[in-house]
Structure 1
């Protein structure tokens, strides 16, 4: 056999071997921001949902938290510039969607906009007689200075006292700096231990509601990671694993909040982007049709 033919056959064999050699799938690395300690139970649900989505997407992934907690505003600023983190979850707003890449599937099913309040134990009934927005304007709420909720409350004519320190808000309420501290029903029961140290209790008559959504946000350049998470979330919705995880974590707290037994005060959300998929009912929880 001519040498040139042997060489050609050898080259073709090498090419064939390379073509059939298993290709190592790319590992998607996720470093998420957190405002609270890694041991805080409120991290469990979003992290587990993120893991579920990436698993359903069929990608190889590595998930870890940024070593230190940071305020929400600082975290989103880092995310926008790609400084150390590439994912966070937060309530959506026009500004946030302009700066970041949102995955428009509300991981909270919209329940972050259902708010009940901490009040001082010695003044438990302070807002219990409130029947509407006009009545509530006589009282002052407490919120974080960089939380979208602050702008929402103020945009509805409510008085708000702010703080840069999340835990400091509990002490400020006890000191009488404001009258009530609205919290999402998805987080308030996890905060009762902290609240009780300041002699604070959950008010049981009033519900604030505004349309809102918690999304996973990424840096605008992380399109591949965003697509993997979005595809995985839709697959989890289709096979029921999204709902299973959601109700495992929040079924009891939804019942405990007694939403239908409260006076509901509806607020406008001027920060809500026009792209919010409010018409896609499957993405949102119907509080009048909860599973038993």
Structure 2
């Protein structure tokens, strides 16, 4: 991507990411916010930011999201001050993590976007997983051959999924008339292996790591013929009134996109290349996602378009 295209993309993403704020105040310029030029003003504040704990089976994704956030904060230290990241001692589900933002128990988390979540919390609309959490393959029972005959969404409706109580993905599958048994993350694996549900849809970014954890995946295999796809961006979220932090994270991420570091971090994830391979030669089953806001859908579309041009 040439410099002019890069600048237009950065400004477009900045507008999408902070459309709920006065975006014109945050436009990047060629003279400022260059990586390597940040010298922190001693008078700027030191900020301690509290993060959620990691769920088992998601260590690689968690490590990436934390490192990306840390680097986004680091390249903005000259404008906003130094920072420190502190991780919560307890694991918690997505909805509890988000509620903890409003209750001043966490400062930043990352989550699949939905209109409901975006109405209560402040999203930074830059899809940190490049939409890959909307690319799903299935955990099924060992020896189950039934999914090889699935050719369409209509065929998929004959099966029962298991998913988390508070996941937007659960609502997406239900909105597409796929039967879903709701339970906890840990219980989902056992429910499929014991035959109470037929499939546990997982992101291509996380399923390999989960499969390697035999305490979770015992009795399960990764189904090899289907790819379920829907718009499903993951954003950083902060409390609804923490506009300064939202602004800082957005600016930092866009600097990392511009200098190529964002793509480097994304592609260096252990699961990234595996994800690319996992999506090949599969039958595509597309779902509609009524939970994604127009702003988030636009942000995902812009990001994926430019990502494809820059990194074919």
| Residue 255 of structure 2 corresponds to residue 235 of structure 1 | yes
Structure 1 residue 37: Cα displacement: 5.1
For residue 63 of structure 1, give the secondary structure of its aligned residue in structure 2. strand
Which residue is 1:205 aligned to?
225
- Between structure 1 and structure 2, the one with the greater Rg is 1
Supply the distance in 2 between the matched residues of 1:38 and 1:169 (Cα, whole angstroms): 13
Which residue is 1:256 aligned to?
277
Classify 1:72/1:39 alpha carbon distance in 2 versus 1 (closer, same or farther; 3 Å): closer
Structure 1 residue 197: Cα displacement: 4.6
Which residue is 1:139 aligned to?
159
Matched ranges for 1:209-224 at <5 A: 209-224=229-244
Classify 1:267/1:37 alpha carbon distance in 2 versus 1 (closer, same or farther; 3 Å): closer
Matched ranges for 1:56-135 at <5 A: 56-58=75-77, 59-82=81-104, 84-123=105-144, 125-135=145-155
Which residue is 1:16 aligned to?
none
For residue 284 of structure 1, give the secondary structure of its aligned residue in structure 2. helix
- Partner deviation per Cα, 1:168-212 (whole Å, 9 max, x = no partner): 111111110100110001111110123575221111100100011
For residue 134 of structure 1, give the secondary structure of its aligned residue in structure 2. helix
Structure 1 residue 286: Cα displacement: 8.2
Supply the distance in 1 between the matched residues of 2:170 and 2:58 (Cα, whole angstroms): 27
Supply the distance in 2 between the matched residues of 1:31 and 1:289 (Cα, whole angstroms): 35
Supply the distance in 1 between the matched residues of 2:108 and 2:75 (Cα, whole angstroms): 18
Classify 1:161/1:223 alpha carbon distance in 2 versus 1 (closer, same or farther; 3 Å): same
For residue 86 of structure 2, give the secondary structure of its aligned residue in structure 1. strand
Q: TM-score when scaled to structure 1?
A: 0.85
User: Which of the residues 258, 273, 277 maps onto 2:293?
Assistant: 273
8 Å contact kept, 1:32–1:65: yes
Supply the distance in 1 between the matched residues of 2:208 and 2:96 (Cα, whole angstroms): 26
Structure 1 residue 222: Cα displacement: 1.5
Structure 1 residue 279: Cα displacement: 6.2
Aligned residues: 267
Supply the distance in 2 between the matched residues of 1:290 and 1:122 (Cα, whole angstroms): 41
| Residue 245 of structure 2 corresponds to residue 225 of structure 1 | yes
8 Å contact kept, 1:37–1:69: no
Which residue is 1:173 aligned to?
192
8 Å contact kept, 2:157–2:177: yes
Supply the distance in 2 between the matched residues of 1:168 and 1:290 (Cα, whole angstroms): 40
8 Å contact kept, 1:111–1:285: no
User: Which of the residues 47, 51, 54 maps onto 2:73?
Assistant: 54
Q: TM-score when scaled to structure 2?
A: 0.80
Supply the distance in 1 between the matched residues of 2:250 and 2:308 (Cα, whole angstroms): 27
8 Å contact kept, 2:114–2:168: yes
Q: Which runs of 5 or more structure 2 residues have no equivalent in the other structure?
A: 1-40
Which residue is 1:7 aligned to?
none
Structure 1 residue 287: Cα displacement: 9.6
Q: Which runs of 5 or more structure 1 residues have no equivalent in the other structure?
A: 1-21
